[in-house]
């Protein structure tokens, strides 16, 4: 049941992406030959005016088929339209995913939730760890990390993994003193995360209810989205330098993460809902990024060729050349998808967790 919900959610995300192309195409009077839910073979079709609306047997999104995508002589074809109109028609799809990502990230902050705050105290320090080298002692209370007030252990773990192998400026309370400390976390391959080498406890805990109004939520959601992009950049940088392996997951891996979360007995229903919203926001953001990058066979590749055309004053690259580049890109993407899917399957068969 959980996997079915994930597949339906993923299909809706892709469908909304395609719906953006469809609406923009109709607005600029491009003939849409078919708008499909799912991928062929067809189960059901209905023709209204010039467009076939179909339901297909593979429920993984949808597609839009424009008339004469490579035929500039047909006045209703996509290729016959001015460059700026074609650019808008193609860009609207990933733009919808970007807007959905902001909406979903923001909605997380509008849902009231309880949290336990308190004095985040060092219970113990691991020998030969970054924390010991920095001079942190048991009993120290973490008050600030990079000017952020620390009220939960989660904040500490998040900031360690956000900044990765970069120095962080800590402030700890020791007795009547507030001491500045610089600490550089290390990657622990067993725990698969960056650590400081400390065990934490919450002293004098108290419950708080957290929620934000829509404007605040949009600001927090946008900030979270930017943080995710920075963390992704840091993950890639760490993989290039050999600090930690790059973990890449495709749809199978995402489905595994969703399934693992929903089988956790110590997570409340609200926590599972928040995780699901967060995962869908990440998927939307990832789709937007990949479809804005100049990758052949994706929207970004098509946008790149249109930009070249506009820069050259309307002179297009030959249809054959562009088609060959997109075909080569398509088969490259298929190969990458197969490799990622195989890695996802091996992780599942080996009983490894993705969370």
SS3 for 282?
Answer: helix
Look at the block and give the residue holding tokens 């600029």.
28
State how far the alpha carbon of 111 is from the alpha carbons of 206, 211, 276, in Å. 20, 6, 13
Catalytic residue among 18, 34, 235, 322: 18
Distance in angstroms (rounded) separating the CA atoms of residues 9 and 117: 33
Distance in angstroms (rounded) separating the CA atoms of residues 333 and 59: 20
State how far the alpha carbon of 340 is from the alpha carbons of 8, 9, 244, in Å. 21, 21, 18
Question: What does the buried/exposed string (b/e) look like for 85-104 if buried means 16 or more CB atoms within 10 Å of the residue's CB?
Answer: bbbbbbbbbbbbbbebbbeb
Q: Which helix (H) or strand (E) holds 125?
A: strand 113-125
Answer for the pair 99, 311: CB distance below 8 angstroms, yes or no.
Answer: no
Answer for the pair 17, 98: CB distance below 8 angstroms, yes or no.
Answer: no
Answer for the pair 168, 136: CB distance below 8 angstroms, yes or no.
Answer: no
Distance in angstroms (rounded) separating the CA atoms of residues 147 and 194: 20
Q: Decide if 157 is catalytic.
A: no
Distance in angstroms (rounded) separating the CA atoms of residues 353 and 355: 6
- What are φ and ψ of residue 316, in 5° steps? -90, 155
State how far the alpha carbon of 271 is from the alpha carbons of 158, 261, 275, in Å. 17, 9, 6
Could you give the residue numbers annotated as active site? Answer: 18
């Amino acid at each position: 049941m959980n996997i079915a919900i994930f597949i339906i959610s993923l299909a809706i995300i892709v469908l909304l992406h395609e719906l953006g192309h469809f609406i923009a195409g109709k607005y600029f009077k491009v003939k849409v030959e078919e708008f499909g839910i799912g991928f062929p073979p067809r189960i059901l079709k209905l023709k209204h005016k010039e467009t076939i609306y179909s339901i297909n047997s593979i429920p993984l999104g949808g597609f839009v088929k424009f008339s004469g995508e490579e035929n500039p002589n047909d006045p209703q074809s996509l290729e016959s339209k001015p460059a700026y109109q074609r650019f808008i028609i193609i860009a609207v799809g990933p733009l919808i995913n970007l807007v959905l990502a902001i909406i979903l990230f923001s909605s997380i902050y509008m849902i009231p939730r309880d949290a336990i705050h308190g004095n985040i105290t060092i219970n113990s320090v691991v020998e030969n760890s970054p924390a010991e080298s920095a001079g942190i002692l048991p009993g120290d209370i973490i008050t600030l990390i990079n000017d952020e007030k620390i009220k939960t252990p989660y904040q500490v773990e998040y900031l360690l993994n956000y900044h990765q192998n970069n120095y962080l400026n800590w402030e700890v309370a020791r007795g009547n003193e507030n001491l500045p400390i610089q600490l550089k976390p290390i990657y622990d391959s067993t725990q698969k995360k960056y650590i400081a080498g400390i065990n934490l406890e919450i002293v004098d805990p108290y419950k708080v209810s957290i929620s934000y109004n829509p404007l605040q939520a949009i600001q927090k959601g946008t900030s979270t989205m930017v943080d995710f992009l920075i963390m992704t950049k840091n993950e890639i940088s760490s993989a290039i330098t050999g600090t930690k392996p790059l973990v890449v997951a495709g749809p199978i891996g995402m489905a595994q993460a969703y399934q693992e979360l929903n089988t956790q007995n110590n997570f409340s229903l609200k926590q599972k809902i928040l995780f699901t919203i967060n995962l869908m926001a990440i998927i939307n953001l990832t789709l937007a990024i990949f479809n804005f990058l100049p990758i052949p066979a994706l929207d970004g590749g098509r946008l790149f060729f249109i930009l070249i055309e506009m820069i050259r004053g309307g002179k297009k690259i030959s249809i054959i050349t562009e088609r060959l580049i997109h075909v080569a890109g398509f088969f490259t993407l298929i190969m990458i998808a197969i490799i990622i899917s195989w890695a996802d399957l091996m992780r599942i068969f080996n009983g490894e967790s993705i969370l």
